[in-house]
């Protein structure tokens, strides 16, 4: 079956612009995670959804970052007033129901803020 | 102190040798431990997970966990050039009685297996 998909694969934007990053999890997976990975670092947790609700958004760096999952499947990560420091690979992962199951990662979106 | 510490490497081993990757962590409440492999430009993929103290073997891979020493390692036997990648150690912590899988990653160790 299809894995986790993310669009776009690459996004170049200018400082101050708004961007949306999309994640389509594996069908039937209720748990969805967003991570951010900077060059030479491991992924850093941003937010976790169980169904439609954000169960833990403690990793969002500030109020410029927001994520939604209105129907419990596709999720969108939204970044307002982008800054150069937001440049990174944004990874989405899903698992069957949360907990300690395997998280399957998508290919990521490479965001470059000029 | 970082929550999860790994030597960034690079670790270079000859083909056929054993590669030993190490990870220490600071949170004694950590419950579950994972090793992910990440090829350059690709997303992480799970190799192994371990929950209990001791060793867990899967093919050429062995994960070792010592909760008292807050140490987890990954051994790769008969290393192959295709094993060359970044290896990420990750853990999840029980929060309020529920472990929901939020992963905390180390920075990763770059492994190079040369022919």
B97 has a pLDDT exceeding 60: no
What are A's interface residues with B at a Cβ cutoff of 8 A? 31, 33, 35, 40-45, 48, 50, 55-56, 91, 95, 98-103, 105-108
Q: What is the mean pLDDT of chain B?
A: 91
Q: What is the number of CB-based contacts under 8 A between chain A and chain B?
A: 64
In the predicted model, what is the mean pLDDT of residues B74-85?
A: 97
* B42, B103, B106 member nearest A45 (Cβ): B103
Name the residue among B98, B107, B29 with its Cα closest to residue A100.
Answer: B98
Distances (CA, A) of A74 to A31, A100, B21, B89: 11, 21, 36, 28
Q: How far apart are CA B17 and CA A37, in angstroms?
A: 30
Name the residue among B1, B15, B4 with its Cα closest to residue B104.
Answer: B4
B97 contacts: CB under 8 Å, gap ≥ 6? none
* Tens of pLDDT, residues B32-41: 899 999 999 9
Low-confidence ranges of chain A (pLDDT < 50): none
A89 contacts: CB under 8 Å, gap ≥ 6? A36, A37, A38, A108, A109, A110, A111
Task: Provide, as residue numbers in chain A, all residues whose Cβ is less than 8 Å from the Cβ of B106.
Answer: 42
Q: How far apart are CA B35 and CA B47, in angstroms?
A: 6
pLDDT at B100: 64
pLDDT at B32: 87
What is the chain A residue with the closest CA to B100? A99
């833990």: which residue's tokens? A56
What is the chain B residue with the closest CA to A97? B100
3-state secondary structure of A85: helix
In the predicted model, what is the mean pLDDT of residues B52-75?
A: 95
B61 touches chain A (CB under 8 A): no
pLDDT at B95: 54
pLDDT at A78: 98
Q: List the end-to-end C-alpha distance of chain B, in Å, as a whole number.
A: 37
């Amino acid at each position: 079956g299809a894995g986790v998909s993310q669009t776009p694969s690459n996004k170049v934007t200018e400082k101050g612009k708004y961007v949306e990053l999309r994640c389509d999890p594996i069908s039937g997976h209720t748990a969805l995670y967003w991570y951010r990975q900077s060059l030479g670092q491991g992924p850093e947790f941003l937010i976790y959804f169980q169904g439609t609700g954000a169960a833990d958004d403690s990793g969002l760096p500030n109020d410029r970052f927001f994520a939604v999952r209105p129907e419990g499947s596709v999720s969108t990560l939204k970044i307002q007033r982008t800054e150069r420091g937001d440049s990174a690979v944004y990874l989405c992962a899903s698992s069957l129901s949360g907990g300690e199951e395997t998280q399957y990662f998508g290919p990521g979106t490479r965001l470059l803020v000029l | 102190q970082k929550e999860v510490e790994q030597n960034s490497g690079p670790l270079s081993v000859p083909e056929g040798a054993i590669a030993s990757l190490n990870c220490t962590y600071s949170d004694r409440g950590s419950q579950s431990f994972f090793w992910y492999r990440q090829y350059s430009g690709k997303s992480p993929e799970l190799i192994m997970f371990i929950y209990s103290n001791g060793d867990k073997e899967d093919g050429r891979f062995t994960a070792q966990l010592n909760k008292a020493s807050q140490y987890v390692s990954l051994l790769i036997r008969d290393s192959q050039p295709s094993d060359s990648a970044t290896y990420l150690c990750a853990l999840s912590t029980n929060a309020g009685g529920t472990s929901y899988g939020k992963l905390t990653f180390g920075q990763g160790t770059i492994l190079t297996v040369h022919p």
